[in-house]
Amino acid sequence: MEQEVEFPKEKWETFKNIKKSYSYAKESKKNFIYYIIVSIILCVIGAIVPIFTAKQILNISNGVWEELFYSSIAVFVLEIMRNIFLLIAGCNETKFYRTTLKNIQIAIATEILKTTTYEFNKKSSGYFIERISSDSGKIADIYLNICDCLTEIITNIGILVSIFILNKFIFVFYLFFLIILFLVQKKKNDVFQKNDKEYRKKKERATSLVSELVRGAKDVKVLNAEDSFLKESEDRITTAQEWRYKMFFTSRTYQFVYRNLRVILDFTYIILVIFLIQKGLLIIPTAVILFSYRNQVIYTLDYVGMLMEYIKDFNLSANRVFQIIESEAKEKFGTKHLGKAHGDFEFKNVSFSYEKDEPILKDINFKINANETVSFVGKSGSGKSTIFNLLCKLYETNKGEITIDGININELDKDSIRGNISIINQSPYIFNMSIRENLSLVKEGLTEDEMIEACKMACLHDFIMTLPKGYDTIVGEGGVSLSGGQRQRLAIARALVQKTEIILFDEATSALDNETQRDIQNAIQNMQGEYTILIIAHRLSTVINSNRLIFIEDGKVLDIGTHKELLKKNKSYKRLYDLELKETNK
């Protein structure tokens, strides 16, 4: 797994991250403003209530019953108001969080889909999943967490002011202990954050492997690799949990010290109170009031600690998320727009390699005319699928030029390329949705007639009608409830509903039985002359009726012609075809 970029601890890091993340919160800023206003009101109520509570204690001590009655009414009214405003705050908090979280998650998903195929392949799935599912929530939380903590801190500062007014000796005593407890809290947060950063890396590795285990369960079983896969999963999960244990053990150790300091605080307060009463510097009722304030004073520090923890957690999550959003490894497209493509293609001196010094395509040249059916043939690994990847701009050429209708694809926008090309892969990914939803995803407003027509053309309609829920049948993740042939036919139907002028078949009939393959071949033949069709086939017998064949070997175009022409003039092609005939006749 790629090592994560370390971000510098800049002075204004929090401010910068909040500024960046606010763009995703602006949609619900009214809810945030209402939340702030209500928080201020709650802050005032929180500061006033202890004053009336203190009066209640003094009135009880002095036997002033009428004053006690009025102060009790004041506390009652204030507490009812507090509950009402807490309800209002909660409603606005939920709306704000929901909208902000949605916007952040959509932004991450959008940027993930913009990431180059090369960069995407370098990352594990856990890398992206953790940022969408976990880090986004930490970012959405920060505004409300800051408001909550500041509300409590300001409220408790008001209580500290009251203590200062009542007795300056007790105020200095509390202030001294607050400083000590603050330093302990700060140290705990620093250590916790360091461990948390490492824990997230370990958790990503574990999440990635678990997701692979779920998606590849069938292959794991077939390969009889359950034990080794489970052992690796156990190792990664154990490593992650060990870091989690270390993180929380350290936190609990500091919490142990923190709690003992609070016990010392209470004990020392009693000693100080006795001393001050004996010296005539404090009366008993005031001492009782000040002692009742001690929890509020300590809570001030708890909220300061929580605020620090929230901010550090937020910065860590924000850096991880913005690492994706601001990454330069994004697909680049031009600005020219091509509405409905005519369907002409040309590769001019194109070279490409996935890794340095390992060329896949070597200075290849060919031209394809609109509404022509052309098949790419050659041994496995010769570079045929790479041609399709470059044509769809999933990768950038290292050298040369690719044109669609005479325009360099680097000048065209994304919709001009991918909106005009449908590709059907050998192993298509089927989404964990209904058949209807899988088809509707690629064409908004898809009609029932269009859907049925595409499925009939892909030889899938009759099978769908045998299912209990028909087109509304859920097919499972990756289409697990379908056979390999059914998945490919659904992928073919999914491509056909797009009705693009250019259709690429990348060994799309490899998992079909002979009868179904013949049906698909007939469907493709019915499309010929109306669409530009490019085919990669693992069996030459399925493409001999193409207008032309382009014979690829070792990343080079060896020859171009019809099946009959290549049999006559190209020995390598004839040898490949004869070998297939032998395998078929065995």
Using DSSP's 3-state secondary structure scheme, residue 376 falls into: strand
pLDDT band at 54 (very low <50, low <70, confident <90, very high): low
pTM > 0.75: yes or no:
no
Q: 333-420+536-586 architecture in CATH?
A: 3-Layer(aba) Sandwich (3.40)
Q: What is the DSSP string of 528-586?
A: BTTBEEEEE-S-GGGTTTSSEEEEEETTEEEEEE-HHHHHHH-HHHHHHHHHHHHHHH-
Percent of the chain past pLDDT 70, that is, above it, reads: 89
Contact residues for 454 (Cβ-Cβ < 8 A; gap 6+): 439, 493, 494, 496, 497
pLDDT at 520 over 50: yes
Q: Which range scores top for mean pLDDT: 82-96, 110-124, 157-171, 184-198?
A: 82-96
Domain boundaries along the sequence of the chain: 13-325, 333-420+536-586
pLDDT at 316 over 70: yes
What is the pLDDT at residue 1? 39
Over residues 207-238, the pLDDT tens digits come to: 777 766 666 665 666 556 667 767 777 788 88
Helix (H) or strand (E) holding 185, with range, is helix 168-215
pLDDT at 2 over 50: no
CATH topology of domain 13-325: ABC transporter transmembrane region fold (1.20.1560)
What is the pLDDT at residue 320? 84
User: Using CA atoms, how far apart are residues 19 and 8, in angstroms rounded to an integer?
Assistant: 17
Contact residues for 136 (Cβ-Cβ < 8 A; gap 6+): 101, 104, 105, 108, 317, 321
pLDDT at 177 over 50: yes
pLDDT band at 457 (very low <50, low <70, confident <90, very high): confident
The number of beta carbons lying within 10 Å of the beta carbon of residue 133 is 12
pLDDT band at 350 (very low <50, low <70, confident <90, very high): very high
